[in-house]
Amino acid sequence: MALAIFDLDDTLIDGDCASLWSEHMATLGWVDGESFIAKDHQLMALYAEGKLAMEDYMSFSLSPLVGRTPEEVAFVVEPFVEDVIEPIFYSDATRCLATHREAGDRILIISASAYFLVSAIAERLKVDEVLAIDLHEEYGHYSGKTEGVLTYREGKVTRLHAWLEEHGETLEGAYFYSDSRNDLPLLQRVDNPHAVNPDPVLREHAEREGWPILSWR
């Protein structure tokens, strides 16, 4: 039995859940749609180039949640996941998850999106274990701030090592599936790295290292 780790956005799903959530907040009237979505696209372009400061994106994307309770947000996230995210699950991804389950592997999703989104999506994928960006609360309401180490770039490695220690796991024989150059720090630490629909930088690295390159649809 090994650990099978999966990135979420553009790996298990055909899209980015945070950007799709931004669009959904516009439909809910929580943000000014035109300006908010334009800013989201600007920041996500930096992410694609490996230049994004995740703290900047989280400060921006969490601002509409300030003063809202986790229960209020969860109430609208559940139908969002059902209506928007579930239809864009990659079929190849769900088959890969099933293969790891049949092998008895322990499955973990680790994502640079907010925990409330990632955990709701993971539940639909029948994955119980998640590492994502944790949100700070004040008096039972979201404050717009994050907590702890962000699961982004080297932060994924830091959070994963803490999780491994907590759960008595190791990376021996571990798999990691990702689409992004931003996940190279973690891909380089597992025995079985897989590049899924990789961006140009990750594709070049995978080809040079002889890593499997998967085209999931």
Note the pLDDT tens digit of each residue in 113-149: 999 999 999 999 999 999 999 999 999 999 999 999 9
- What CA–CA distances, in Å, run from 194 to 78, 137, 198? 30, 36, 9
- Round to whole Å and give the CA distance between 187 and 176: 6
CA distance 134 to 146: 6
For residue range 13-71, what is the model confidence (pLDDT) as tens digits?
A: 999 999 999 999 999 999 998 899 999 999 989 888 888 889 989 999 999 999 999 99
Provide the domain count of the chain: 1
What does the pLDDT look like over 146-159, one tens digit per residue? 999 999 999 999 99
- Report helix, strand or coil for 173: coil
Phi-psi group of 173: left, alpha or beta (phi > 0 → left; psi -120 to 50 → alpha; rest → beta): left
Domain that holds residue 73: 3-214
203-207-210-215 Cα dihedral, nearest 10 degrees:
50
> Which has the closest alpha carbon to 148: 106, 99, 115, 195?
115
CATH number assigned to the domain comprising residue 111: 3.40.50.1000
For tokens 């959904």, name the residue.
Answer: 24
> Which residues, at least 6 apart from 98, have a Cβ–Cβ distance to it below 8 Å?
none
Eight-class DSSP state of 124: H
Tokens of 49: 């180039």
State the catalytic residues: 7, 9
